[in-house]
Amino acid sequence: MKDKIKLFENKKIRAIWDEEQEEWFFSIVDVVGVLTDSVNPTDYLKKLRKRDELLGEYIGTNCPQIEMKTETGKNRKTLAANVRDLFRIIQSIPSPKAEPFKLWLAKVGNERINEIIDPELSIDHAIQNYRRLGYSENWINQRIKSIEVRKTLTDEWDKSGVQQGKEYAVLTDLMSKTWSGMTTREYKKFKGLKKENLRDNMTNTELVLNMLAEVATTDISIERQPTTFDESANVAEEGAKVAKVARKQIEKSTGKQAISSLNAKNILHIKNR
């Protein structure tokens, strides 16, 4: 997830782009503050949820707690909502700003949707960022290819009925554990990461092995056409085993571990040196 600050009428609204679900999540408290001009939007939201029980139940069911930075720079869990759920919440807030906010919200969502419709916009932006950070051209090529491979896999998961969000995460963890020996969280801890993107901190070898796991899983899924989550999980594990075999062979041939504790800072330091 990537933190951003969005501005509506010069007022800040914290937002996070979820790469797995490919959608924005906005701080509900920030939105309430903008729409109501309340001096205490947190308290306003609490009263709103009590007054409108259906809304309270809707928020509790559909809106996750996501870590976002406070004004002091600390990360705190905050109730967040995607564009669809925010439209539902806005309906319950009497405010003259409701309609212009809806238009602003649609525009913000559309900016990212345009990148999804035209992947070249997103890819060009990513390449520029990676170059600015100092990654090698070879690594950038691998990373961009890994984005394409991941998208192909998630498209196949969608066709198989796998739900975005939690089920995506479970299958991703299963694949990671199978080929690397670590879940995503364990892998990030091994590399000394916290909120950073794991793939942005992989070596070329790790990226290729991860792509192999995802390509194999996609190909097997296309042939097997799983219709349940358990069937997709079996396919994911089988696909990841292909990468595990490749990892073992690389380690046997080189005499060293294919999985590295290096992260982006280490990698870029070595490159620059």
Sheet strands (E) in 123-206: none
Q: Report how far apart, in Å, the C-alpha atoms of 216 and of each of 42, 50, 119, 139 are.
A: 47, 50, 23, 21
Question: For the sheet containing 65-69, what is the strand order?
Answer: 2-8, 11-18, 23-27, 75-81, 65-69
Calpha distance 244→240 (Å, rounded): 6
Joined together, the tokens standing for residue 118 give 């035209």
State the Cα angle at 80 between 76 and 86, rounded to 5°.
Answer: 155
DSSP 202: -
Q: What is the pTM of this model?
A: 0.58
Task: Summarize pLDDT for 93-139 with one digit per residue, the tens.
Answer: 888 888 888 878 777 665 554 444 344 456 677 788 788 888 888 88
Question: In a 3-state reduction of DSSP, which class is residue 99?
Answer: helix
Rg (CA), the chain: 21
| Residue at 111: amino acid letter | E
Calpha distance 217→235 (Å, rounded): 6
Pairing of strands 11-18, 65-69: unpaired
Report CA torsion sign: 25, 3, 104, 108.
Answer: negative
Nearest to 19 by CA among 236, 217, 195: 195
Calpha distance 23→113 (Å, rounded): 9
Q: Report how far apart, in Å, the C-alpha atoms of 60 and of each of 41, 167, 245, 270 are.
A: 17, 20, 44, 47
Q: Output the tens digit of pLDDT for each of the chain's 273 residues.
A: 566 777 777 788 898 887 766 678 899 999 999 888 888 999 999 998 988 888 888 888 888 998 888 877 788 899 998 888 888 888 888 888 888 888 787 776 655 544 443 444 566 777 887 888 888 888 888 888 998 899 899 999 999 999 877 899 999 999 999 999 999 999 999 999 876 789 889 999 999 999 999 999 999 999 999 999 999 999 999 999 999 999 999 999 999 999 999 887 776 665 555
